[in-house]
Structure 1
Amino acid sequence: MGTELRGGGPGARGSALRIAGVSAGCGVLLLAGCAGMPTSGEIRSVKASPRADSQVRVEAVPPRKGATPHQVVEGFLEAMTSDDANFATAREYLTEGMAKTWRPEAGTAVLAEAPVPGQAREGGPTAQEIDYPLHGRQIARVDEQLAYEATTPTEYQRTIHLTRQKGADGQEWRIDRLPPGLVLGASDFQRNYRPVNKYYFAAGRNTVVADPVFIRQRMDPVTQTDPLTQSVKALLDGPSAWLDPVVESAFPKGTRLKKDAPLTFDDRNTLEVPFNEKANGVSRAQCDRMAAQILLTLKDLSSSRVDQVELQRANGAMLCVLSSGTEEAYRPGPSRPVPGHQYVVDGRNRLAVLPKDGQGTPEPVRGPLGEERVPLGRIAVARDEDTAAAVSKDGRELLVAPIGAETAEEPGHAPVLVRSRGAAPANRLSAPSWDGLGDLWVADRDPVHGGLLRFAGGEGKPQPVRIVPDPGEARIESVRLSADGTRIALLLTRDGRTTLQIGRVERLGSADDPVVRITALRPAAPQMETVTAVSWAGPSRLVVVGEEAGEVQQVRYIQTDGSSSADSVLPGLNSVLAVAASDDERMPLVAHSEGEGIVRLPSGANWQKVVTEGSSPVYPG
């Protein structure tokens, strides 16, 4: 069912907009609840998609006879938010030449609110041309590869040019110049698009890395493909430009879906994926890796249950079959299953493990880090949970020691890997972090002798890691490595403001003489005025503590590309000093609140106090 809304008040868009709701219980989903459709009363104008609701469909309405330039511009902006095949109705607002050359797939400018046309001005030497400036506040851009990149909010200013031409109904205004791609408000973008993780292999390794992109919620207007096919095609198109230098795909270059051959399911719920000739000669091992990439990518599509995938040659013959669940072997993690405990520095400055159910007293680990020999401040536990690293409470020393059950009863002292020469604790060592390859990372914040350091295998001499380009006077406050070892989350302080930056971890040189560097830093939470804590919370998600300008502190989830959903803000918790999330997204969050101590947030519940005394909560990593 649908309802047509026509603008009639000041500032209303002049063209018509049809909203179609899809619901089992009620017909109009813009309402808070189900109610009867009114049969009388004033019809008021609305902007497209006042809130992000994936069940709302916007049907574009073509230009009216005699439409004014303002109505043409408004109608075109609304038509860009629709699901119209090939944006056919939106093209009706364009001149014939512009309709043929306009490429909505060229990228999307995402604005905080729907774009607003400004005051018309002369667009040429005659009265037959008009310019309409577009205004807004841009918060992100999406490129042709569907990769989203959050940006520091900036003013968006572009121009739409109209010309008056002869049409079927006489003289009519049409658009002949406009910005490339689409221009959407954030709510319309969230209604039309959904995030999906594509998966590729870390360069030279059998560990997969998530590469987030956005695909259409329903049928793609340009390609007329459903979300499942969109996801597979996006995977075959290759990794995003930002991630490409540190990952590789198992698919031979040029592999595409076979033309005009749809993806289909057989009676065993097997997804059949036919390729072109480029994939005909792959080995069984390579085919298995290709199938694993597809299975992992489709995990995010909850509406598409895939029990197994069958990859096919161009002639329809089978390449290989891989059952769902087998692909999990390629996810990052230790070589053997581990329980994934939660650790803290307890009230006596020792490394301790929290009880699984959140009840009871933290138990000191076995080994020197569980003894009261050196008061500990910040900690990190290796992903196999056999070893841990700790920074002394004064921030001066980095210690590493075993913590496993096999640790001797008389443990001795933990060796010191590095000492900072910083004059004050704030200028000494940051909290350490382990990557998925077993390397240990820490930042020495000494402005004279400091820098980012890596310890191969968690031992030996520190290896300085360059950041390219150099962040200059920015000081590293926090270091967090992803489980796959290809990305790093850094908190950088410059001019009194601490921001969250995501960088690539590039590993160059030979195995005997490796060179590791951080490149292509980009903001992951540009909307936040300051960020105080961060933790990885899955393959492409972070949990962040920070404040937006003029707002109170928030704990929220943010994707590595900077995107977030309306429900990403977590229940209120005051004065959060540290937060920890597991690579297993089913595990509860753990945080240190200045007023509450150590607390945790199980799924579907509120924050629960664990212990009053303690700090530096962490999961392995």
Structure 2
Amino acid sequence: MGADREGGARRKPARAAAYVVCGVVVLAGCASMPDSGDLRGVESTPRQDTQVRVFAMPPREDATQAEIVQGFLEALTSDDPNYKTARLYLTAKAARNWQPEASTTVLADGPSTEVVRPPGGREDSDAFTYALTGDRVATVDSQQAYSPADGQYSQRVHLAKDPKSGQWRIDGLPQGVVMGSSDFQRNYMSVNKYYFASNTTAGTTSQPIAVADPVFVRRRVDPMTQMVRSLLDGPTSWLGPVVRSSFPTGTALRKGVTSLTPDDQNKLTVPLNQKASRVGLARCNEMATQILYTLRTMTPTVDEVELQAANGAQLCVYSENNAQSLVTRGPVNHPVYLYFLDDKHRVVRIPGGSRGTHTEAVPGALGEGTKPLGSVAVSRDEESGAGVSLDGKSLYVGSMVSGASLGDPVLTSQGKTADDRLTAPSWDVQGDLWVADRDPKNPRLLLLQNGAGQPIAVDTLGLDGRIESVRVAADGVRIALIVEKNGQRSLEIGRIQRSGATGEQPVVSVLELRSATPDLEEITAMSWAGDSRLVVVGRAKGGVQQMRYVQVDGSTPEGPAPTALTGVKEIAASEDDKLPLVAYSEDGIVRLPTGAQWQKVVKTGSAPIYPG
């Protein structure tokens, strides 16, 4: 529980201060604890520099009930590693039973507080109850997984006067913590931990595929050690059914290890318990790779990991360069080309990282224009293409080599209009092709193994609406869908699960769909733009069209949004962040290179895509 810290500074009282701020720069306007008076709400304070650490102050002697509640709430937004100061506001029993790590509830403006008057208006001079309320924005569970949430938050804290000391303390409170959204942004950061896809392989190779599992950790409370512990604890429950960890079950840091810090060569030594002491070299290398990928974006950086057995013996030493050859992360192959349809509805391409504008038709029938296309997808190895006819009725698949023919459609929709027929297709990492049929009489999500054969109807248990767009992640275990219901379009992220014996037609399901854009009601375009990030074009209720990045868990990633662009109809991004963002807008096909403005590629063109 804590105060939201965004807004104007409050007057500092003459006596107790709720925070001590430590760092290179001490900023004015820190939250303070009033000497007296009722609590109307936990006010905001200016956001601190992210490198400045904030520590809470304990309750002063003879603090009032209001001061105890407010001091406790504000102490929870400090950088106290184990909430030791916050527990000083509790009775001894409440301090033992309170579990702050159980959850974090994020409120729009921080918790408002109000004294709860007992029935009949009679008050107990030795006990008080305060109600904590606010508009809920999100929750972070005990696995550190973020979920958007809405509705009214309402919980109570109870205070009692200690019969011996005469001091007010909190003796009843909910588990977990609660704080305002800007406090959450200051205190927490999103980091991907990495596991391996359990039911996919990268095309024809046997390399394991890394899958990002985003979690939130406290930003200035030894986040590196937090992330290693979280990684060892296993994946979040949503992702767990489709990934595996190379760490043996029960693996943890060696007893007595409280903090992990890389040396001056950016090497991190990780002492493990007995559960990991018998792993072989190949498995140990995979374990080290999981740590390397998990910590690669953190500061200080980690370039090499040494894993140690319980007795201190070295299990393996592995570097980031070696990890890249052992595990597939992101695209199997880095995209060579950007593809789109020209004014003759043929598939054309330009080099993906090029700043030039010269286009060429792709080899084979897709580039010849014998079948005018309305949308296209290119396999991740860039050897095959799939296109939906201009009227949305037919799906064609062809090899992108000179002289290759197109043949008959592999799928035909019976929808009456183009808007009721096939969506743009999408290839997964295994070379399978996904597409949705929007026929109102038979709406389906379909999978064609290797882009051919009898389409497999994908079970979409829990889908509430009609699929308007399909994009499969590079890891092959997550899928993004634009879903329309009652005229509103949302972005849903689902988990892909496959079952069935080898050689048999698999049973494929998309399960536990969850919204990644709860505050947008009109998503018009989306594309994967990282291991756990997408770029979306949408509109908030009563707002204008906007383009922004979102995380798969529904949170907003740090960093700037893409430069504004009007009239965007389609968007293309790559999991390879070195490639520019591309859009089809009222200005034609345009791209956004890193550090530059939108640039026109061609005036007449549509349906831009990278492989996938």
TM-score by length of 2: 0.90
**Residues 254-280 of structure 1, C-alpha deviations (whole Å, 9 max, x = no match):** 011111135354565432211111111
- Root-mean-square deviation over aligned CA pairs: 2.4
Tell me which moved more, 209-218 or 129-138. Answer: 129-138
Rounded Cα–Cα distance in structure 2 between residues aligned with 1:326 and 1:379: 35
| Alignment CA distance shift 1:592-1:53 (3 Å) | farther
Rounded Cα–Cα distance in structure 2 between residues aligned with 1:53 and 1:435: 42
| Alignment CA distance shift 1:46-1:140 (3 Å) | closer
1:365-380 equivalent positions in 2, closer than 5 A? 365-380=362-377
**Residues 444-497 of structure 1, C-alpha deviations (whole Å, 9 max, x = no match):** 01121230000111111111000123x24x100111101111001111111111
User: Within the alignment, does 1:28 sit opposite 2:59 as a pair?
Assistant: no
Rounded Cα–Cα distance in structure 2 between residues aligned with 1:334 and 1:537: 11
**Residues 348-380 of structure 1, C-alpha deviations (whole Å, 9 max, x = no match):** 111111354333243221111112212111111
Q: Which residue of 1 aligns with 2:146?
A: 148
Q: Which residue of 2 aligns with 1:609?
A: 600
Unaligned runs of 5+ in 1: 32-44, 220-225
Asked if the contact 1:489/1:503 (under 8 Å) is kept, the reply is: yes
Rounded Cα–Cα distance in structure 2 between residues aligned with 1:536 and 1:252: 31
**Residues 557-581 of structure 1, C-alpha deviations (whole Å, 9 max, x = no match):** 1111111146442221112111111
Asked if the contact 1:199/1:235 (under 8 Å) is kept, the reply is: yes
SS of the equivalent of 2:139 reads: strand
Q: Which residue of 2 aligns with 1:42?
A: none
Of 80, 86, 106, the residue aligned with 1:84 is 80
Asked if the contact 1:545/1:576 (under 8 Å) is kept, the reply is: yes
| Alignment CA distance shift 1:590-1:68 (3 Å) | same
| Alignment CA distance shift 1:373-1:51 (3 Å) | farther
Tell me which moved more, 129-138 or 410-419. Answer: 410-419
Asked if the contact 1:507/1:517 (under 8 Å) is kept, the reply is: yes
**Residues 323-354 of structure 1, C-alpha deviations (whole Å, 9 max, x = no match):** 2212123124676x454311111111111113
| Alignment CA distance shift 1:607-1:19 (3 Å) | farther
Q: Which residue of 2 aligns with 1:479?
A: 470
SS of the equivalent of 1:468 reads: coil
Amino acid at match of 2:453: G
Q: Which residue of 1 aligns with 2:162?
A: 165
SS of the equivalent of 1:492 reads: strand
Q: Which residue of 2 aligns with 1:299?
A: 296
Rounded Cα–Cα distance in structure 2 between residues aligned with 1:533 and 1:27: 44
Asked if the contact 2:113/2:130 (under 8 Å) is kept, the reply is: yes
SS of the equivalent of 1:354 reads: strand
Unaligned runs of 5+ in 2: 1-7, 31-40, 202-207
Amino acid at match of 2:18: L
SS of the equivalent of 2:225 reads: helix
Q: Which residue of 2 aligns with 1:134?
A: 132
| 1:208 Cα deviation from its structure 2 partner | 1.2
SS of the equivalent of 1:296 reads: helix
Amino acid at match of 2:93: G
Of 200, 205, 212, the residue aligned with 2:214 is 212
| 1:306 Cα deviation from its structure 2 partner | 2.4
Greater share of residues in strand:
1
| 1:131 Cα deviation from its structure 2 partner | 2.1
Rounded Cα–Cα distance in structure 2 between residues aligned with 1:361 and 1:414: 29
Rounded Cα–Cα distance in structure 2 between residues aligned with 1:327 and 1:568: 30
Q: Which residue of 2 aligns with 1:175?
A: 170
Of 391, 394, 403, the residue aligned with 2:391 is 394
Rounded Cα–Cα distance in structure 2 between residues aligned with 1:27 and 1:587: 40
Q: Which residue of 1 aligns with 2:485?
A: 494
| Alignment CA distance shift 1:279-1:528 (3 Å) | same
Asked if the contact 1:256/1:275 (under 8 Å) is kept, the reply is: yes
Q: Which residue of 2 aligns with 1:73?
A: 69
| Alignment CA distance shift 1:61-1:497 (3 Å) | same
**Residues 416-439 of structure 1, C-alpha deviations (whole Å, 9 max, x = no match):** 110000011111001111111111
Of 493, 505, 508, the residue aligned with 1:516 is 508
Asked if the contact 1:15/1:75 (under 8 Å) is kept, the reply is: no
Rounded Cα–Cα distance in structure 1 between residues aligned with 2:77 and 2:574: 37
Rounded Cα–Cα distance in structure 1 between residues aligned with 2:316 and 2:188: 32
User: Within the alignment, does 1:424 sit opposite 2:417 as a pair?
Assistant: yes
| Alignment CA distance shift 1:15-1:492 (3 Å) | farther
**Residues 123-144 of structure 1, C-alpha deviations (whole Å, 9 max, x = no match):** 8973433222212111111111
Rounded Cα–Cα distance in structure 1 between residues aligned with 2:418 and 2:27: 58
Rounded Cα–Cα distance in structure 1 between residues aligned with 2:50 and 2:264: 30
Rounded Cα–Cα distance in structure 1 between residues aligned with 2:143 and 2:328: 24
Rounded Cα–Cα distance in structure 2 between residues aligned with 1:588 and 1:21: 40
1:575-594 equivalent positions in 2, closer than 5 A? 575-593=567-585
| Alignment CA distance shift 1:145-1:426 (3 Å) | same
User: Within the alignment, does 1:563 sit opposite 2:555 as a pair?
Assistant: yes
User: Within the alignment, does 1:540 sit opposite 2:539 as a pair?
Assistant: no
User: Within the alignment, does 1:447 sit opposite 2:434 as a pair?
Assistant: no
| Alignment CA distance shift 1:46-1:18 (3 Å) | farther
Rounded Cα–Cα distance in structure 1 between residues aligned with 2:350 and 2:562: 22
Asked if the contact 1:201/1:248 (under 8 Å) is kept, the reply is: yes
| 1:536 Cα deviation from its structure 2 partner | 0.6
Of 281, 305, 308, the residue aligned with 1:309 is 305
Rounded Cα–Cα distance in structure 2 between residues aligned with 1:111 and 1:370: 52
Rounded Cα–Cα distance in structure 2 between residues aligned with 1:587 and 1:133: 51
